[in-house]
Amino acid sequence: MTTPSLLILPGDGIGAEVMTEVRKVIDWFGAKRDLAFDVTEDLVGGAAYDKHGVPLSDATMAKAQEVDAILLGAVGGPQYDDLDFSVKPERGLLRLRKEMDLYANLRPAQCFDALADFSSLKRDVVAGLDIMIVRELTSGIYFGEPRGIFEENGERVGLNTQRYTESEIRRVARSAFELAKRRNNKVCSMEKANVMESGILWRGVVSEVHENEYPEVELSHMYADAGGMQLCRWPKQFDVIVTDNLFGDLLSDVAAMLTGSLGMLPSASLGAPMENGRPKAMYEPVHGSAPDIAGQGKANPIACILSFAMALRYSFDEGTEADRLEAAVEKVLADGLRTGDLMGPEGGTPVSTSEMGDAIVAALTSSL
């Protein structure tokens, strides 16, 4: 078998420093578990703009289409705020998602026991929480046409279009039902069928997929605003949530805070299977580039490290090794190690980005 290939795109802000820690973990798996990866690194976001004048070069895009999986850090920063919309750092990320057709974005929200008191919600609301948001990632209002800022009757009008085809809804619904079958067998679909035609279609197509293909999975529907409320009221009622691109963006940030810190949450963006059977895939932390703390060794590398764990699970069929890595993260948290974002009133041992990475590698070694 050929060595699996990984394209690493650290991006901007804290992206580079959290990725340095992920590289330690990747190297550990190569050295200790005979799981070597062919790793190449490239630029995305503001870093790519600085070098090439675009947030993702065609050469990088071509490379992205060829590798077995991509690991991305984060993009964006205040120095790019005034750039033309078409070359903003975020456009690099959106181009990757769109051109690779990574339609199913898996965003788990899992509350580690050691951090249950750190959430802004009460311990019993979040302790043991383990839900999965499946966000549609390549369509909807993020990409719908027409779009733009126009002149009309002597004033400016901003326009975006929410648009979904049946097949786009069907394929992401299937991803959600498949995941539910391997979890607690429940899917809740969220839209605004009370005000949006695209929501009516969404609800109808998800119901059809359910009836025809997954009748054994429990399906419920919720308006997305009520869904946000229920996520804060009693999140443990959910198993898998499936929703569109924009609602998924919002609801996954809400779900993230249930776990205590945005610095903890990984994600996987999956597309159709490639010739080798692996899905097209990009893995990235849910958090952003955090320019305010970049370069100071304060960032939490856990979200990015857990994103690599998702790569092991979903791209490389190494579920046991993914479990091992997640257990190592759990161990360092239980041992009280805390980057700044995890420093609550209950204290803990403050550690830097690289100390956290080293501790996770040490926990991996002690797992052998």
> Among residues 192, 280, 298, 331, which one is catalytic?
192
- Contacting range for ligand IPM; rule: CB under 6 A; set: 87-95, 167-175, 223-231, 294-302: 87-95
Is residue 99 at the binding interface for ligand IPM, with CB under 6 A as the rule?
no
- Contacting range for ligand IPM; rule: CB under 6 A; set: 90-98, 171-179, 319-327, 344-352: 90-98
The H or E element containing residue 284 is strand 279-285
Q: How far is 111 from 296, CA to CA, in rounded Å?
A: 26
Is residue 191 at the binding interface for ligand IPM, with CB under 6 A as the rule?
no
x/- map, 298-317, Mg ion, by CB under 5 A? --------------------
Is residue 341 at the binding interface for ligand IPM, with CB under 6 A as the rule?
no
Q: How far is 79 from 161, CA to CA, in rounded Å?
A: 29
Do the bridges between strand 5-11 and strand 69-74 make them parallel or antiparallel, or are there none, so unpaired? parallel
Query: Among candidates 54, 88, 81, 47, which has minimal Cα distance to 294?
Result: 47
**Between 94 and 127, whose beta carbon lies closer to ligand IPM?**
94
Whether residue 225 lies in the annotated active site = yes
**Between 256 and 328, whose beta carbon lies closer to ligand IPM?**
256
Nearest distance in Å: CB 148, ligand IPM: 18
Residue 127 touches which member of Mg ion, ligand IPM, none, C-beta under 5-8 Å by kind: none
Query: Among candidates 247, 210, 212, 245, which has minimal Cα distance to 227?
Result: 247
**Between 246 and 274, whose beta carbon lies closer to Mg ion?**
246
Q: Which of 27, 63, 90, 223 binds ligand IPM (CB under 6 A)?
A: 90
Q: Are 248 and 91 in contact (CB under 8 A)?
A: no
Q: Which of 239, 249, 326, 341 binds ligand IPM (CB under 6 A)?
A: 249
Give residue 193's Cα distance to chain centre. Answer: 26
Q: How far is 64 from 150, CA to CA, in rounded Å?
A: 34
Number of residues that bind ligand IPM (CB under 6 A): 4
**Between 168 and 318, whose beta carbon lies closer to ligand IPM?**
168
Place of tokens 């062919």: 38
> Among residues 239, 249, 283, 298, which one is catalytic?
249
> Among residues 142, 164, 214, 283, which one is catalytic?
142
Find the radius of gyration of the CA atoms of the chain: 20
Whether residue 84 lies in the annotated active site = no
Scan residues 203-262 and list those touching Mg ion (CB under 5 A).
249
Q: Which of 93, 126, 193, 329 binds ligand IPM (CB under 6 A)?
A: 93
Is residue 244 at the binding interface for ligand IPM, with CB under 6 A as the rule?
no
Whether residue 50 lies in the annotated active site = no
Adjacency order of strands within the sheet including 186-191: 38-41, 5-11, 69-74, 279-285, 266-273, 104-110, 130-136, 240-243, 186-191, 218-223
Whether residue 142 lies in the annotated active site = yes
39 CB-contact burial (10 Å; exposed 0-12 / middle 13-18 / buried 19+) = middle
Q: How far is 5 from 26, CA to CA, in rounded Å?
A: 12
Q: Identity (one letter) of the amino acid at 288?
A: G
Number of residues that bind Mg ion (CB under 5 A): 1
- Contacting range for ligand IPM; rule: CB under 6 A; set: 88-96, 197-205, 292-300, 308-316: 88-96
Residue 90 touches which member of Mg ion, ligand IPM, none, C-beta under 5-8 Å by kind: ligand IPM
**Between 69 and 337, whose beta carbon lies closer to ligand IPM?**
69
Report H helices in the chain: 15-32, 46-52, 58-66, 89-99, 123-126, 166-181, 197-213, 224-233, 245-258, 302-314, 319-334, 353-366
Residue 62 tokens read as 């071509």
Is residue 225 at the binding interface for ligand IPM, with CB under 6 A as the rule?
no
Q: Which residues are catalytic?
A: 142, 192, 225, 249, 253
Binding interface with Mg ion (CB under 5 A): 249
Residues contributing to the site for ligand IPM (CB under 6 A): 90, 93-94, 249
